[in-house]
Structure 1
């Protein structure tokens, strides 16, 4: 007679404890993967936030103002030469403003050089600008010296003064201003690359968080179900809390990563891009106002400065036209160009100020020499300053949008780093606390 011997109970105990350990281990591994995915996404988005919001972004905006500062420098030189000895106090005020612009330019170039430490091309551009500005200042100083020696009254200065100024302004507009604009474009690529990299990284991180979070929940639920069936217990409280913490981590992590991505998109689109466009429009407008003084100053190049004024006007607010008078007569609110993206009240308000400036310019060009200078020094300059003030307000508003979006992203990042790791670490401890009593039964 054959006697059947049942398998030793120890094997069954080892089988059960092994499954518990395996499920618990998988739960811990997937929790670790979820945490890694969230932190990797946060690190990537955080790096982009630092680049756009605290490093390259503000420095690029600073270099964007370089074009306007340099344009104003040259316009101030032209203005001091155009005003005669009877405008002594105003000439002195212009020279004070000139020195202020020179200091601002030095600070902007220093920021640009710091930003370009890893880019030899940008470094050379900054160095070339520094050297070129030194040459410009020497030429401008020579023109001012000749003007002082001539002692002319308000109006066109002697030909030798104009010729000296022509050398300075040619250097500024043919060499230095294009370099300043290219510098802004070059440094702006850093922001664009960071933004593009962040978009890809955020999408990948969100996908990884969802996948690892669902896997962690599946493992925790599997462990809970196995313990319930095997040990005939309704629920393991520690595992229930761990599951809830994991679900909360998944939901919160995904939400915060999306908030960071949205904040960065808002900072780039409504903040950085808008400020950069408006700052460029403001810089070109400053150069347009300088062309008006150069038009009055240099009788040899009146047609040239009228043409460049038209070209810059078309860049700022484009309408179909064949000449400057034609442009000024056809200017309408449905313009395109740099400022064409404005909408609503901002567009209407800016158009009204810009149109007033263009109408004043048209009137100035119909006046004889001395009357044109007085009109330029009074009503025309007031019209320009009113238009520039609207532009400045728009720039400041979008700068506030930029800073607000960056602050929102930083807040989401801080919350993520502070609470998500703690919550998931607590969940891992609760997994161990939930399975430990069951494993002790098999010792």
Structure 2
């Protein structure tokens, strides 16, 4: 009879003996296809990051170009023109009262007056769009609109009274002067300061937009450089691994992808830098110059208005002479204690004058503007040395024309800088267009080449 043997059992561990831990099997080594897939995935991931950096940089740069060149910049210049046009409106109103019955207000250049009024309305509209959520700036614009309405009523009343008086050329009757004094006080004590503050706010918006664009562009350039170098390094590692593991020559698809990434890195960085340089040229070399010249023209126009007002309002002549002197000093500063000393001292001040124009102009531009300003001041000196009737004659025959020539010189210079500004903006936009057109396409094609180069090697393991 067969005896069935019971299965052997392990003896139970002694009480208190430590339990044996199971022995872990060593980790399985990563296979060659796994390493290829890992390197390929890292390369494609880095390529995607590079593409994202390029696209993000292009978007940021494009926003900067639009802000400075198409939006905030032109609207800021429009608000600068607001001050100048408002000053000219008041000067034109004063000039119409000066003519008397020989050339009454109804025959004055009311078309130019209306043109300036339309330009003011357009500037206020542009400033309102630029203000966005800036409540204080919008309140200033609303106040300007309301104040200009009051000024229009007073100026119209002064012209009506002047037309009814039929006075000879020269200072109008006292009742006309009284109404005009209220109008010009409103303009210079309330409206023009508000317009100047609006100009400063608009300039600040442009400066902040420019600084944000430059800062973002610097970060974008750094991101493109970092991800580009990382992508190139991973592609080289992948290429070397495939070459050594498969004992073959370099993979032509990966070589093509590496070349495209290198081209994308160099081209993308170059185009972003070109856009950044164009933005810098537009802001610092052109926009700032136009802004300064526009402010100088605005002050000069107000200065010319003081010249006219001193003729129609003898009671305030000393006040207007003093403001004329102060504004002249702000444009071209030289040491002088009175207007007469100042105008006499301009003859030898070309080399060392400062002020708004002195810190801006160089070379032939400095010569042209200073010469025109000096000629205008000389005719003003003749005007102030004459009696009222003689002063009006000097104004009509010399001072008015000299001021027009001086203003035209600055306007020509400002327009030249505006052309340079638009050219720089177009250059930046062109660089961005080239970046959008070529760099993303090159990087996408590089990704396709990586996949095409790796796929045959992976097939060998199926």
TM-score range, shorter chain: over 0.9
Alignment of 1:423 with 2:442, yes or no, is: yes
Alignment of 1:148 with 2:163, yes or no, is: yes
SS in 2 for 1:44: helix
CA root-mean-square deviation: 1.2
Q: Where does residue 280 of structure 1 map in the other structure?
A: 295
Alignment of 1:365 with 2:384, yes or no, is: yes
Q: Where does residue 102 of structure 2 map in the other structure?
A: 86
Q: Where does residue 4 of structure 1 map in the other structure?
A: none
5+ residue gaps, structure 2, are 1-27
Distance (whole Å) between structure 1 residues aligned to residue 457 and residue 110 of structure 2 = 86
Aligned pairs (5 A) from 1:98-113: 98-113=113-128
Return the match for 1:338 from 341, 356, 359. 356
Q: Where does residue 18 of structure 1 map in the other structure?
A: 34
SS in 1 for 2:398: helix
Distance (whole Å) between structure 2 residues aligned to residue 218 and residue 95 of structure 1 = 72
Distance (whole Å) between structure 1 residues aligned to residue 335 and residue 37 of structure 2 = 77
Distance (whole Å) between structure 2 residues aligned to residue 67 and residue 169 of structure 1 = 14
Taking structure 2 as the reference length, the TM-score comes to 0.91
Post-superposition offset of 1:212:
0.8
Alignment of 1:315 with 2:334, yes or no, is: no
Alignment of 1:64 with 2:80, yes or no, is: yes
- List per-residue Cα deviations over 1:393-412 (Å, max 9, x = no partner): 00100000110000000001
Q: Where does residue 217 of structure 1 map in the other structure?
A: 232
Distance (whole Å) between structure 1 residues aligned to residue 165 and residue 106 of structure 2 = 15
Post-superposition offset of 1:133:
0.2
Aligned pairs (5 A) from 1:35-434: 35-88=51-104, 92-331=107-346, 332-333=349-350, 334-340=352-358, 341-434=360-453
Stretches of 4+ moved more than 3 A in 1? none
Post-superposition offset of 1:87:
1.7
- List per-residue Cα deviations over 1:102-141 (Å, max 9, x = no partner): 1111111111112223221111111100000000011111
Distance (whole Å) between structure 2 residues aligned to residue 33 and residue 323 of structure 1 = 67
- Contact 1:83/1:91 (8 A) holds in 2: no
- Contact 1:20/1:223 (8 A) holds in 2: yes
Distance (whole Å) between structure 2 residues aligned to residue 184 and residue 233 of structure 1 = 69
Larger of the two Rg values belongs to structure: 2
Q: Where does residue 9 of structure 2 map in the other structure?
A: none
- Contact 2:279/2:425 (8 A) holds in 1: yes
Distance (whole Å) between structure 2 residues aligned to residue 100 and residue 400 of structure 1 = 23
Post-superposition offset of 1:94:
2.2
Post-superposition offset of 1:91:
5.4
Distance (whole Å) between structure 1 residues aligned to residue 232 and residue 423 of structure 2 = 36
- List per-residue Cα deviations over 1:73-109 (Å, max 9, x = no partner): 0001100111110123x85232222122111111111
Comparing 126-135 with 111-120, greater Cα deviation is found at: 111-120
- Contact 1:42/1:416 (8 A) holds in 2: yes
5+ residue gaps, structure 1, are 1-10
Q: Alignment length, in residue pairs?
A: 431
Q: Where does residue 7 of structure 1 map in the other structure?
A: none
Distance (whole Å) between structure 1 residues aligned to residue 223 and residue 249 of structure 2 = 32
Distance (whole Å) between structure 1 residues aligned to residue 130 and residue 62 of structure 2 = 19
- List per-residue Cα deviations over 1:43-92 (Å, max 9, x = no partner): 1111111011011111111111011110010001100111110123x852
- List per-residue Cα deviations over 1:337-370 (Å, max 9, x = no partner): 1111210011011111111011111111001111
SS in 1 for 2:385: coil
- Contact 1:318/1:336 (8 A) holds in 2: yes
- Contact 1:317/1:338 (8 A) holds in 2: yes
Q: Which has the higher helix share?
A: 1
Distance (whole Å) between structure 2 residues aligned to residue 128 and residue 430 of structure 1 = 64
